[in-house]
């Protein structure tokens, strides 16, 4: 019996051999795209290298086949960029792929791009757009032969309805997936979404029934990976019901299946859950042993990942990774947009001021003699240049010092007062003083709306877990937990929430009591594991 993980590796190795032995660019491109699709969920760095190589190859090629290959590569590159929070790059890739595919009338790539755009907007929480694109994808895929892809789009549409709290529509599309002649694996994943829906409603018995059904499906399909996951989910649900003794055998079964396929990632999660479960049961010695095994797998995974990267370098692949830059790219995106809008308003007002001053002084120049007129024109040009220069200095000062709303309002008031000054020298002096004041101004308060938007952007998945699994938590408590996932300490969080350090610590203690986590446990790790 061959496991899913072994089958996955076997297919990847076969594709690598075919790429190595390919005699034409067109053949090599087909195998490269298939390999990228195969590695998409397991090896991000190698997948990106392969896709960039495909794009380099097709850059100098002409013809329908090469353009179709380019559209496929852009689609999968967009998926990678989305995972690494490179939002703008992902959207640009999807739109370019869509344009290429529509020009070629390539239904397969059009359906794939519509699906990816739906997933993109779902992550942006623009659920209406997400549903529109996923429905377009389904409409196209219904006329194609790939039932697995059709089932995937129905499943993701169901998840989108779930996130948009349209539970009946969610159930409808899950039922479609289960009726389609797709693989048992795809149906079991749809069942898992249905179980999540029951779990959110605290209908634990129904969720347990579904995961037990998944156990039967996984056994029949000989998919040990999904079987191990299903055992683990049943254990988690019994743990939620505080039926700890019942949960233990399911955890043991999950571990046994994970060992067969040597899935260290699953084993790490399962031993961590088992350690927590035994600690709750009071079996402290066993809990300690389980924790040691968890640490062993955790260290093993880290070493394995490092070895894989070194091997890739030895195969002359270019190591291309910019995760830190991509993670910071979306930081404070909402606040930047607001600031840019304010800057546009200021620029418009200043433009109006310059136009008004120009017209006013033009009337004065008419009354002067020819010699005085020439002199006045020269001075006026200098004054306008000075105003434009000061305008740029004001905008730069606003951007570099992140001026607060109050400072911007005051600035507009000061500008109006400067306009009233008749003397050109006094206007220049006043503008210089205002510029110096802006450059010395520092923002001291955190914008609460910006903070919530930032948390929703970088902690979206964690926020979903809190909303689904711990609905009794207050919004302020959820915000505190999201800030903790960013690695902030109590002092830093107290500044962001405009509170004292002791109040933050007290709030953490209250949260631990609410969700049943003692002081020895990592509260963030506990919450993340609750979603397994």
pLDDT of residue 307: 40
Residue 446 contacts residue 496 (beta carbons within 8 Å):
yes
Give the mean model confidence (pLDDT) for residues 358-384: 63
Q: Domain extents for the chain?
A: 184-318, 333-440, 448-529
Give the mean model confidence (pLDDT) for residues 47-65: 92
Selection from 139-153, 338-352, 384-398 with the highest mean pLDDT:
139-153
Q: Which CATH number fits the domain 448-529, given the four candidates 1.10.10, 1.10.3470, 1.10.357, 3.30.70?
A: 1.10.10
Least confident of 11-25, 123-137, 232-246, 402-416: 402-416
User: Tens of pLDDT along 443-481?
Assistant: 334 455 556 666 666 678 888 888 888 888 998 888 888
pLDDT of residue 454: 63
d(CA 496, CA 452): 11
Question: Under CATH, domain 184-318 is a member of which superfamily?
Answer: Tetratricopeptide repeat domain (1.25.40.10)
Bin 346: left if φ > 0, else alpha if -120 < ψ < 50, else beta. Answer: alpha
Least confident of 99-103, 301-305, 343-347, 435-439: 435-439
User: What's this model's pTM, rounded to 2 decimal places?
Assistant: 0.46
When pLDDT is cut at 50, 70 and 90, the band that residue 331 belongs to is low
Residue 497 contacts residue 504 (beta carbons within 8 Å):
yes
- Between 451 and 112, where is the model more confident? 112
What three-state secondary structure class fits 31?
helix
pLDDT of residue 264: 79
User: Tens of pLDDT along 199-231?
Assistant: 888 888 988 988 888 888 888 877 787 788 889
Mean pLDDT of the chain: 79
315 pLDDT higher than 50: no
Residue 118 contacts residue 155 (beta carbons within 8 Å):
no
pLDDT of residue 472: 87
When pLDDT is cut at 50, 70 and 90, the band that residue 485 belongs to is confident
DSSP letters spanning 409-469? HHHHHHHHHHHH---HHHHHHHHHHHHHHHHH----S--HHHHHHHHHHHTHHHHHHHHHH
CA-based nearest residue to 516, from 476, 461, 473: 473
User: Tens of pLDDT along 424-440?
Assistant: 767 765 664 554 345 43
User: Tens of pLDDT along 379-397?
Assistant: 665 655 555 455 445 444 4
Least confident of 17-31, 442-456, 493-507: 442-456
94 pLDDT higher than 90: yes
- Between 518 and 408, where is the model more confident? 518
pLDDT of residue 453: 67
Q: At what angle do helices 244-260 and 264-281 cross, to 10 degrees?
A: 160
d(CA 16, CA 7): 14
Give the mean model confidence (pLDDT) for residues 407-434: 67
Is there a common fold for 184-318 and 448-529?
no
């Amino acid at each position: 019996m061959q496991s899913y993980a072994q089958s996955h590796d076997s297919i990847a190795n076969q594709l690598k051999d075919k790429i190595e032995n390919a005699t034409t660019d067109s053949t090599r491109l087909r195998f490269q795209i298939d390999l990228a699709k195969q590695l998409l969920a397991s090896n991000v760095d190698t997948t990106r290298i392969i896709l960039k190589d495909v794009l380099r190859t097709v850059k100098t090629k002409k013809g329908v086949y090469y353009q179709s290959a380019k559209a496929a590569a852009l689609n999968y590159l967009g998926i990678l960029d989305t995972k690494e929070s490179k939002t703008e790059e992902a959207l640009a890739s999807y739109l370019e792929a869509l344009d290429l595919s529509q020009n070629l009338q390539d239904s397969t790539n059009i359906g794939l791009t519509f699906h990816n755009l739906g997933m993109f907007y779902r992550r942006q929480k623009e659920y209406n757009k997400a549903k529109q694109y996923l429905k377009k994808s389904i409409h196209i895929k219904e006329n194609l032969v790939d039932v697995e892809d059709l089932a995937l789009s129905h499943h993701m549409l169901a998840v989108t309805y779930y996130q948009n709290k349209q539970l009946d529509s969610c159930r409808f599309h899950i039922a479609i997936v289960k009726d389609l002649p797709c693989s048992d694996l795809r149906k079991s994943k749809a069942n898992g979404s249905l179980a999540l829906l029951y779990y959110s409603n605290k209908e634990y018995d129904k969720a347990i029934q579904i995961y037990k059904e998944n156990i039967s499906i996984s056994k029949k399909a000989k998919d040990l990976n999904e079987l191990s996951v299903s055992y683990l989910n049943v254990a988690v649900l019994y743990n939620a019901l505080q039926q700890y003794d019942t949960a233990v055998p399911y955890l043991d079964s999950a571990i046994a299946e994970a060992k067969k396929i040597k899935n260290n990632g699953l084993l790490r999660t399962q031993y961590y859950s088992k350690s927590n479960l035994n600690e709750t049961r009071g079996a402290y010695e066993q809990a300690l042993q389980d924790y040691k095994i968890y640490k062993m797998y955790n260290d093993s995974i880290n070493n394995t990942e490092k070895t894989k990267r070194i091997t890739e370098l030895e195969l002359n692949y270019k190591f291309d990774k910019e995760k830190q830059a991509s993670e910071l790219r979306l930081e404070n995106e909402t606040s930047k947009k607001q600031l840019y809008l304010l800057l546009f308003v200021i620029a418009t007002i200043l433009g109006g001021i310059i136009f008004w001053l120009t017209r006013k002084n033009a009337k004065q120049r008419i009354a002067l003699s020819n010699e005085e007129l020439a002199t006045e024109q020269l001075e006026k040009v200098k004054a306008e240049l000075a105003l434009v220069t000061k305008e740029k200095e004001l905008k730069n000062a606003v951007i570099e010092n992140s001026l607060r709303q109050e400072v911007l309002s005051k600035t507009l008031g000061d500008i109006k007062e400067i306009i009233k000054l008749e003397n050109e020298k006094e206007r220049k002096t006043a503008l210089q003083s205002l510029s110096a004041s802006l450059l010395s101004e520092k923002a001291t308060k955190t914008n609460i709306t910006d903070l919530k938007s930032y948390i929703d952007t970088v902690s979206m998945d964690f926020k979903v877990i809190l909303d689904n699994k711990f609905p009794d938590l207050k919004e302020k408590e959820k915000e505190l937990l999201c800030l903790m996932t960013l690695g902030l300490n109590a002092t830093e969080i107290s500044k962001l929430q405009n509170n004292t350090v002791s109040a933050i610590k007290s709030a953490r203690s209250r949260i631990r009591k609410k969700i049943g986590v003692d002081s020895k446990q990592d509260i963030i790790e506990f919450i993340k594991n609750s979603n397994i």
